[in-house]
Amino acid sequence: MTSVKNKPSRIFSQASSYFEELQEKICAALEVADGQGQFSTDAWSRKEGGGGRSRVLEEGGIFEKAGVNVSTIHGMMPESIAKKMEVPPSLFFASGISLVLHPQSPMIPTVHANFRCFEREDGDRWFGGGVDLTPYYLFEDDARHFHDQLKRACDVHDKGYYPKFKKWCDEYFFVKHRAEARGVGGVFFDYLRDDAIRIFDFVRSLGDSFLPAYLPIVERRKDEDWGEQERSWQLLRRGRYVEFNLVYDRGTTFGLETNGRVESILMSLPPVVEWHYNRIPDVGTRESDLLMVLRHPREWAANGSA
């Protein structure tokens, strides 16, 4: 398909609808899990074309800040972006769902998921996405459960996906200047251009696996004790999250450079963050144990990634 079009393809529209349904489903389940907070909804449109729906829950029972955003936009691709993507500038369509959940308790990990479909006017189309977990304290069971669920969703489609996308995730969510991973990883993929129907099926499986991958961890950890020290460590680690998102994250960069809706793009940033000079945990503490894992990413899925 290389004919120039001014409307997106059928599969793009299906992907876009799926992202909207997924947003509904995830927000409904998160409200139940939270027990107190409710999502507000902002529908917005973009001057250059398209728009989105941002849903945010702040100061809930479990979630200090939870943002789940969908958007479907179109327009001319800025040259800077085209250069980074190594494609010629052209009319493009982009649809995606992006979520970041920041729990109040340092014992519950932060989680991120994003799925997107990108289409150029010449019919060139690809899917990208990722799901990754950022704990403040390491519970190995949680990391294993999370990866097992993602691996299961991948394996149905291609046994090669999980090992490939797990590695990609470790490489992508890497805070280079700190020489540490953002968290315990998950999966990440981009520019998947093979058979679109097959890829979209896979993206759907992974999207559907988000809640079973994450919610059991919330259930397991919500009653863990924590105090000042754990909170302080969480706020410091959240700073690394901000550093990654603002310095390296392609989605954030893309959004800011395409004149995207700033409040929706930066919904990913944690509600409260601290930066202290040179605060390094003592060896042998739980805080230091986490750093060891971030510096040396492990295999977590039941059958490794072999």
CB 26 within 8 A of CB 63: no
Q: Which of 74, 102, 112, 147 is catalytic?
A: 112
Q: Does 67 bind a copy of itself (CB under 8 A)?
A: yes
Strands 91-103 and 63-76: what pairing? antiparallel
How many residues belong to the site for a copy of itself (CB under 8 A)?
Answer: 31
- Report the residue number, 207 or 260, with the smaller CB distance to a copy of itself: 260
Apex 251 CA angle, 271 and 277, nearest 5:
45
Residues 6 or more apart whose Cβ sits within 8 Å of residue 46 = 52, 71, 73, 75, 259, 260, 261
Q: Does 291 bind a copy of itself (CB under 8 A)?
A: no
Handedness of CA 208, 33, 98, 236 (dihedral sign): negative
CB of 245 to a copy of itself, least distance (A): 9
Q: Return the range that interacts with a copy of itself (CB under 8 A); candidates 110-118, 133-141, 214-222, 237-245.
A: 237-245
In the three-class reduction of DSSP (H, G, I as helix; E, B as strand; rest coil), residue 217 is classed as: helix
Distance CA 36, CA 197 (A): 39
276 is known as an active-site residue:
no
CB of 45 to a copy of itself, least distance (A): 15
Q: Does 65 bind a copy of itself (CB under 8 A)?
A: yes
CB 146 within 8 A of CB 214: yes
Handedness of CA 168, 172, 177, 179 (dihedral sign): negative
Q: Does 30 bind a copy of itself (CB under 8 A)?
A: no
Helices 196-221 and 10-34: angle between axes, nearest 10 degrees? 10
In the three-class reduction of DSSP (H, G, I as helix; E, B as strand; rest coil), residue 175 is classed as: strand
Token couple for 69 = 């955003």
CB 209 within 8 A of CB 201: no
State which of residues 195, 277, 283, 296 lies at the interface with a copy of itself (CB under 8 A): 277
Q: Does 262 bind a copy of itself (CB under 8 A)?
A: yes
Q: Return the range that interacts with a copy of itself (CB under 8 A); candidates 50-58, 85-93, 131-139, 143-151.
A: 50-58
State which of residues 227, 276, 283, 284 lies at the interface with a copy of itself (CB under 8 A): 276
Q: Return the range that interacts with a copy of itself (CB under 8 A); candidates 5-13, 222-230, 271-279, 294-302.
A: 271-279
Q: Does 275 bind a copy of itself (CB under 8 A)?
A: yes
Q: Does 46 bind a copy of itself (CB under 8 A)?
A: no
Binding to a copy of itself (CB under 8 A) within 157-186 occurs at 176-178
Binding to a copy of itself (CB under 8 A) within 200-219 occurs at none
Which residues are marked as active site?
A: 112
Please give the residue ranges that form the binding site for a copy of itself (CB under 8 A): 42, 54, 56, 58, 65, 67, 176-178, 235, 239, 242-243, 246-247, 256, 262-263, 265-267, 269-278
